[in-house]
Amino acid sequence: MELAAILFSLFFAINIGASGAAASMGVAYGSGAVRKKLYALLICAAGVLSGAVIGGGEVVKTISSGIIPEQSITLTIVCIIIGAAALSLFTANVLGIPLSTSEVTVGAVVGVGVAYKVLFLNNLLMIVVFWILVPFVAFCFTFFVSKLFQFFKIEVKSSRKQKTLGIILLFAGFFEAFSAGMNNVANAVGPLVAAGVLDVTKGTLYGGIFVALGALLLGGRVLETNGKKITKFSKGEGILLSGTGAGLVIISSVFGLPVPLAQVTSSSIIGIGMAKNGPNVFHKQVVRTMLKVWVVSPFLSLSISYLLVSLFLKGDYYSVFMMASVLLAAGGAVSLMKAIRKESRSVHEQGGGI
């Protein structure tokens, strides 16, 4: 069981690298500071590993014992938490959507806590408040600073200054990846630390290595989504975006708060896109899809972990039946709403009815 728990955690670490960590270099790649995708991913990997080793310990402590009691986390529970979170994250990676590993991990831990009724509700509430607050601050800050750039017509056209800005942006991207290492590696190794399989030092080291590998091997699609499919950036805007994300996440990590790095980065990108193009940025399908996934993802991992605990550890088949019924009802309601909207459009376009 110990080997299975370690393998589950390392697989999850690889997926973390492919999602949240890879997104951290999106602005540098999208602005052209790093033209080759491989180079962007190499810089990301180096930043993630150094961030995990140097400053990842505080968030590990929160994930391992700040949401549910540490003694509640057995090796079987580790497999359930990591399995539920990894399944949610893997689905998002296949879709090319930058999903928050903090959301799916905390959601999976909460699912276990709900099943056993052992949640630290005050700590959980604090985490959720920061999930909303930090991306909102990132959005507002980049929006208003970008508007100031436009108002004062700040432009840098000389090739020498553009080259300088490119170098600064590389460092900003590195520090954003560094912040990803500080904050996100805990999501993979925190449960292992709680179960006593690894100590904090070894956990952050091994987790950092595998998150870095995930960014290198699987991070290309998310890098492309964040860098090229939402809006275009100048190098100055890229520095603003990466610097905002890195600063907010590093501050949160120092206080041991797992925050949604993918949402911070993506919210910053949407903020600058709105400053340049107005509300039209929200009409882009990729933005709408990202917003939906952000809302659904923690509840998805929560439901999966709750079902696994109820089915395999508690033998509570009634809970499984009720959860399945709710999912079927929700799916049916969504399908019915789509059918009604489609019928309404048909009536409007053709001028008739059934």
Each residue's pLDDT tens digit, 160-191: 888 889 899 999 999 999 999 999 899 999 99
Residue with tokens 């919210």: 267
Residue 51, pLDDT above cutoff 90 = yes
Which pLDDT belongs to residue 119? 93
**pTM, entire model:** 0.83
Span 99-119, average pLDDT = 89
- Name the pLDDT band for 353 (thresholds 50, 70, 90): very low
Residues 135-139: what's their mean pLDDT? 94
Q: Which residue has the higher pLDDT, 209 or 234?
A: 209
197: tokens are 């399989």
In tens, the pLDDT along 239-284 reads: 998 899 999 999 999 999 999 877 887 788 889 888 888 887 766 6
SS3 315: coil
When pLDDT is averaged across residues 216-244 and rounded to a whole number, the result is 79
- What is the phi/psi pair of residue 103, to 5°? -65, -50
- pLDDT for residue 224 is more than 50: yes
Predicted local confidence at residue 20, as pLDDT: 67
- pLDDT of 118 > 90? The answer is yes
What is the C-alpha to C-alpha distance for residues 179 and 248, in angstroms, rounded to an integer? 9
Whether 48 shows a pLDDT value over 80: the answer reads yes
Predicted local distance difference test score (pLDDT) of residue 120: 94
- Mean of all residue pLDDT scores within the chain: 85
In contact, 216 and 286? CB cutoff 8 Å: no
Residue 161's pLDDT is 83
Residue type, 327: L
